[in-house]
């Protein structure tokens, strides 16, 4: 027998009236009617660069909590990783 999924991840859009509609069928969770669920809403989405690095919302949230940083700062930091790799900087004045 196939085990029911514990969670589903997807992106949604806030409508003009402020409501959020699920864009994915949640029947995969095999929840019984009346079952309580927890929903976390994060503003924005993970960039393609971070998605390629397999960064998850859970990791962003965990780093933010440990470092006392908001989500935007954590994403900015993670996105900057490796960006200077292989770059050559011109010599500075006074350095030879």
Domain boundaries, the chain: 44-83
Q: With b meaning 16 or more CB within 10 Å and e meaning fewer, what string describes 9-30?
A: eeeeeeeeeeeeeeeeeeeeee
pLDDT at position 96 is 57
For the whole model, what pTM was predicted? 0.51
Token readout for 57 is 């919302």
pLDDT in tens, 36-92: 888 777 777 788 888 888 888 888 888 888 988 888 888 888 888 777 677 776 777
Tell which residue, 79, 82, 83, 11, has the closest CA to residue 48: 79
Higher pLDDT, 3 or 36: 36
pLDDT at position 69 is 87
Confidence category of residue 17, pLDDT binned at 50, 70, 90: very high
């Amino acid at each position: 027998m196939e085990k029911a999924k514990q969670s589903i991840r997807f992106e949604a859009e806030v409508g003009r009236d402020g409501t959020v509609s699920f864009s994915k069928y949640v029947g995969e969770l095999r929840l019984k009617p009346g079952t309580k669920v927890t929903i976390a809403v994060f503003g924005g989405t993970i960039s393609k660069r971070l998605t390629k690095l397999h960064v998850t919302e859970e990791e962003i949230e965990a780093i933010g909590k440990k470092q006392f940083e908001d989500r935007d700062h954590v994403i900015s930091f993670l996105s900057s990783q490796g960006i200077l790799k292989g770059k050559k900087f011109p010599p500075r004045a006074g350095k030879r």
